[in-house]
Structure 1
């Protein structure tokens, strides 16, 4: 039991680091703009390398996760994040910065196909575990504006990468030493005697599942990454003078994202007890309404609207992962997660240029109207998920 708890804690920490490091640059850009000058969109574009690598590395990581000890891949995750952030911190020009961000993205691509597969191993009801793990991932999202903003305010934009690089390196080395990952015998996906069997679907239902899950992953990936990238800039533009500068912007963004992250625990409980498609439909519809309102919001109401919108966005994540856990055997689960995350993370590479381009052309109202439209597509698709009765009966 203690070993399982420790393993779950490390998996949660890995999820936290993954999203924290991916979003250091979008907040550091605000400090770079003040120190170096230049347009926001131009300075933001190197983040595209991180998100492209994040998506491109997912399938290879899933393949490795079914063939190589997954604990070793987690060590590689921590050390790779450290190396990438170190390169970004010492960058002498845009090329080296882009290389560092790409290495961050490539290292981060390990987590979702490998780490999520480890989270659901040996569990009958996976919703709660995925909800808790998802909270840590989104706390990483939440912490990024505060960590990057605070470090950049104190030490300049390079400090936003240097300190996290040191912490990740120490974490990776400590994890390897304490858990003995490097010296452990080779194994890939241990199967517990208590692991729930995959819940078979007929050919028609499989097609419907793939279609809806693919649609939700594609649209949800754009909404998730687009909103988390643009939130610091939105708060700076609409509330910056009232917040007292970069640190205040980072603190509010962190508060919003941290509060929203806990929605995943509630959703995790719901999807263990209620039809998944009803929960998904309701959340996606709520996203559409709230995101549209955020695009036109101002003043204190904007912070409340952003909190509600991000809670709905974050709450959708464990639903996708639970669908995979219910229908994939452990031996190939990492690869199926990889395919799913290729869509949700691969299309996230479009989020940065989309944010930069739409912000330049139409401002926040147009950008958030696009986000709302994507959420509405998921709400329309959700009722086409296969009937949950068989899956629920199997879980009892």
Structure 2
């Protein structure tokens, strides 16, 4: 659900570029361009990351399920507000609500997996597969609904599933500290953290509503403790892990935010009239009017397909974390992303087949690195502050990483497309080199 909403937003961006001409701030009026909309999207995406840090602190105090439930409620409300938005200012407000609500999910969900599942890598893999289904299906569903519905109606329809998911999250019967109870050596320096992270929690049926509270007795209890735990994290190798996740976020957001817009400029991705895709005999029964100008954007479906291929990357990356040193997996994964950024535009210039091949590889590598860095965080942090650790992680991925959207929009507005992909390659190269440094430091 989180990624369904996250990656449906760029589909709406292509519409907002044509539906709105100005952003009226009262004291000043701005033109709607890729640069200004890049900033608007960055605000929402930025809060998605910035809220992860306080979200991580809350996970260690009140537990995962409660936060996940409110996350889903907030996301549903935000898309309901988006459905009513008369201007870019209200769109910005809706994205702010979405970013704040969605921000708590990753610290909550990943902390739950890291402490509740013994086969952590496989757990991250299946979790990533679910995420990629949302990543791919979100824009696919949005693009398909937009063929016959106004964008505001589509936003309203998308709001509904989150509320049903919130009910499920509230009622789910889980043991949030199962792996901590059975594994006394969860990560570096964890010998005494397991007892703090949730000893004595049992799956108690109707009483399971309190499991999260029982499991969340560790973590940050005060501002002084927050500072102390943060200093302890960044005094070690976690600082390098944080650099990796920042680069990952900048690459991810910089590449994906305007990808539908970029693809739409390429030969072979011209809009196709919906009426031309169906026999005339079906126009009447389906309510299709050839004169209404409704078109299908092939770029939206290529974009969705690229993201769905990421399911393979998530699974492979998750399995690799159980079979090889995660540091070198990071080096190889981001090395692949470096090369793919440099060959993406040349492949696009060679035709649809080369672009499809490079796009599929990009989809795999873009997501193969995620289980790897998620598991790396678990390797380099104690269980008792795992929520805080993942809070910092997604502050880097989605908070700092949100700047990738603004960077991409600004480059596309004032520079060239090749410049954007060179910058993206630079982000990936830094992450790859950092993975090698981590591996050598760990070996020493």
With structure 2 as the length reference, what TM-score do the two structures score? 0.76
Instruction: Kindly report which structure 2 residues correspond to 1:301-340, keeping only aligned pairs within 5 A, or say none.
Output: 301-340=354-393
Asked if residue 170 in structure 1 is aligned to residue 164 in structure 2, the reply is yes
Q: Which SS does the other structure have where 2:314 is aligned?
A: helix
Does the aligned pair in 2 maintain the 1:152–1:158 contact within 8 Å? no
Q: Determine which structure has the larger helix proportion and give its number.
A: 1
CA distance in 2, matches of 1:112, 1:100: 20
Greater alpha carbon shift after TM alignment, 24-33 vs 243-252: 243-252
1:230 corresponds in structure 2 to 258
Residue aligning to 1:19: 3
Q: Within 5 A, what are the aligned runs for 1:146-165?
A: 146-165=140-159
3-state DSSP class of the match of 2:151? coil
Query: CA 1:348/1:357 → structure 2, altered by over 3 Å: closer, same or farther?
Result: same
CA distance in 2, matches of 1:327, 1:179: 30
Gaps of 5+ in 2: 22-31, 190-230, 273-294
Which residue of structure 2 aligns with residue 214 of structure 1?
Answer: 242
Give per-residue Cα distances to partners, 1:275-318, cap 9 Å, x unaligned. Answer: 22221111111110111111333221222212212311211111
How many residue pairs get matched?
368
Aligned to 1:4: none
CA distance in 1, matches of 2:75, 2:334: 32
Q: Is the 8 A contact 1:74 1:110 kept in 2?
A: yes
* Offset from partner CA, 1:313-371 (integer Å, 9 cap, x none): 21111111111222333321111110121111111221221111001122321111110
Structure 2 contact 53–388 (Cα < 8 Å) conserved = yes
Per-residue deviation at 1:113?
Answer: 0.6
The one of 195, 201, 206 equivalent to 2:183 is 195
Between 151-160 and 73-82, the greater mean CA deviation after superposition: 151-160
> Matched residues in 1 for 2:232 and 2:173: separation?
45
Q: Given the superposition, is the C-alpha separation of residues 22 and 205 from structure 1 closer, same or farther in structure 2, using an over 3 Å criterion?
A: closer
Q: 1:63 to 1:208 in 2, by over 3 A?
A: closer
The 1:148/1:205 distance shift into structure 2, 3 A limit, reads closer
Partner of residue 14, structure 2: 30
Among 40, 45, 51, the residue aligned to 1:46: 40
Is 1:359 equivalent to 2:415 in the alignment? no
Please state how far the C-alpha of 1:86 moved relative to its aligned partner: 0.7
After superposition, the CA RMSD in angstroms is 2.7
How far residue 114 of structure 1 moved from its aligned partner, in angstroms, is: 0.6
CA distance in 2, matches of 1:310, 1:215: 22
The question of 1:294 aligning with 2:344 is answered yes
Q: d(CA) in 2 for partners of 1:127 and 1:82?
A: 30
State the SS of the aligned residue for 1:92. coil
Shift of 1:204: 12
Indicate the structure (1 or 2) with the bigger Cα radius of gyration. 2
- SS of corresponding position for 1:66: helix
Matched, 1:110 2:104: yes
Aligned to 2:119: 125
